[in-house]
Structure 1
Amino acid sequence: MKRSKLQAAVVGGTPDDIEHTFYEALHNADIGQLMACWAEEDDIVCVHPGGGRLIGAGAIRSTFEAMFNNGSVQAFPERVHKVQSLASSVHHLVERVEVITPQGVRQAYVIATNVYHKTPQGWRMVAHHASPGTSKDAADVGAKPTVFH
């Protein structure tokens, strides 16, 4: 029997599953699905572009509920780079966000870092830190380092 993405977030899943479910929840303005992605720890943290640091599930939930009162967030993760160990995974990426303006749909870019820990409930988000980006962020700068052995 195949599990739904929400069940994967609730039961455990991989960091990639949780990330997919997080962005799906933004697209659907689904606060329950979004909060199921977060760890049940007092020190989880979220920083929105240009915003302050939100610590704890209550503060994070309140801010996303306020955002969802204005509709869904059409953020699409792109160029995800990952650093993973046995119990943590860090994803740094560019979010392409569709913004409705009087001139129609426009693209905005956000630089984000999502941090996941393996908890007793499975992989969960412990930090989402997003900073304003520019159209230049649509392309990565620099090259991957070469490792010599």
Structure 2
Amino acid sequence: MPTRTKLRAAALGGSADDIEHAFYEALQRGDIDALMACWADEDEVFCVHPGGPRLVGTGAIRAAFEQMFDNGGRIDAQPARVRRIESLASSVHNVLERIEVLTAEGPKHAFVLATNVYHKTPQGWRMVAHHASPGTSAEPTEAHHEAPAFLH
């Protein structure tokens, strides 16, 4: 499906996965309007970039992404290893973002763990929170722990 058609379909309904795909695609293109179309139009939406302050509201979020796009034009972030917790009206995705950064020595990769929260709004699924950890140069491993047989 072409990008604009996919974004339009996500805007009219679709799923949290569609909005997540549109969000990362907009990051990769440096398309602020497409990126902001993924966010809910609510006063309390928030975004935390690695090592940054909590940005509250679409105005603050837009300004931060505009500054990032002005500095580098786009952000090559590829989501992987998505873990989902879903309900009828919300979906929480924990993703490993593989970021490619161009340096004088060539491309380098960084890895960021991010949590994206989506709510089903009257306009369809929309992002209400994006929180990203500081990056690392090595791909993080996942720890799996079994629940104890008795909690108390």
If the length of structure 1 is used for normalisation, what is the TM-score? 0.91
Match of 2:133 in 1: 131
Q: Which moved more, 1:28-37 or 1:5-14?
A: 5-14
Task: Give the AA of the match of 1:114.
Answer: N
Q: Please, which moves more after superposition, 63-72 or 52-61? A: 63-72
The offset of 1:146, in angstroms, is: 6.8
Cα deviation, residue 11, structure 1 = 1.4
1:120 and 2:135 are equivalent in the alignment: no
**What is the alpha-carbon root mean square deviation over aligned residues?**
2.0
Q: Would you say the 8 A contact 2:78–2:99 is kept in 1?
A: yes
Map 1:1-149; keep pairs closer than 5 Å: 4-70=5-71, 71-136=73-138, 138-143=139-144, 145=146
Q: CA–CA distance in 2 between the matches of 1:11 and 1:20? A: 15
Q: Structure 1: where are the runs of 5+ without partners?
A: none
The letter of the residue matching 1:9 is A
Structure 1 ranges of 4+ moved more than 6 A = none
By how many angstroms is 1:58 displaced? Answer: 0.2
- Percent sequence identity over matched residues? 61
Distance in 2, Cα, partners of 1:144 & 1:93: 19
Which TM-score applies when normalising by structure 2?
Answer: 0.89
Q: Is the 8 A contact 2:111 2:140 kept in 1?
A: no
Shift in Å, 1:147 = 10
SS at match of 2:133: strand
| Structure 1 contact 9–36 (Cα < 8 Å) conserved | no
3-state secondary structure, aligned to 1:69: helix
